[in-house]
Amino acid sequence: MGNPLRVRRPVAELAAKGQVFEIADKISSFKRLAGIVEADLATLDPDKIPDGWRDSLVTGRLEFGFADAQMQVATIEGEVAVTIDTVCQRCLEPFRYALSAELRLLPTTAGEGVSTGTDFELWELDDASICPAEVIEEVLIMAMPLSAMHDDAEVCVGYEPADEQVEQTTKPFAELRAQLDQDK
């Protein structure tokens, strides 16, 4: 049968079984996510690209169930995490970034009217089946920052704090103000 994370199955079937997936797979198994990380790291000099970045472990858990007693509205809940190698947009050096996401999804097909007052996010599908690995990958991609940076600017290579005493403010109308005050 292969890896059950990679098999496309109906969401209702997974929910009816109360399917739970424990995830522990290398980032290289998630082609789109690995491609994004690789493209980011490609901006570095080849000698600065971290060795073994493809071996970072994606971990987590997905649980399928129902949001209603009539077992009509399927849910996907869980959490996923990975530590990726990326480039700090402040200092342009590589660093490790902990990426994680919690998910509470209501998978629906296009046009299916699901209204809910819960804290689930609607997840629109092309058809009624789903591949759990694709959900994991999509959630992690959406959790990626637009501009990854070290949490603390002081750890950035070449960081120099702004000298607060040298700060100059340009006041283009200061001379005009002085002339108006003289004319009074």
Q: Which pLDDT tens digit goes with each residue over 76-97? A: 999 999 999 999 998 999 999 9
The tally of domains found in the chain comes to 1
Is residue 173 scored above 80 in pLDDT? no
More confidently predicted of 71 and 27: 27
Domain that residue 59 falls in: 4-183
Residue 141: which of 149, 151, 133 has the closest Cα?
133
The per-residue pLDDT of the chain, averaged, comes to 86
pLDDT of residue 64: 94
Alpha carbon 136 to its chain centroid, in Å, reads 10
Residue pointed to by tokens 């603390």: 152
Q: What residues does 107 pair with on adjacent strands?
A: 123
DSSP per-residue codes, 93-153: -EEEEEEEEEEEEEEEETT------SSPEEEEESSSEE-HHHHHHHHHHHHS-SS---SSG
Q: What is the pLDDT of residues 118-140, one digit of tens each?
A: 688 888 888 888 999 999 999 99
Contacts of 131 (CB under 8 A, 6+ apart): 5, 6, 7, 8
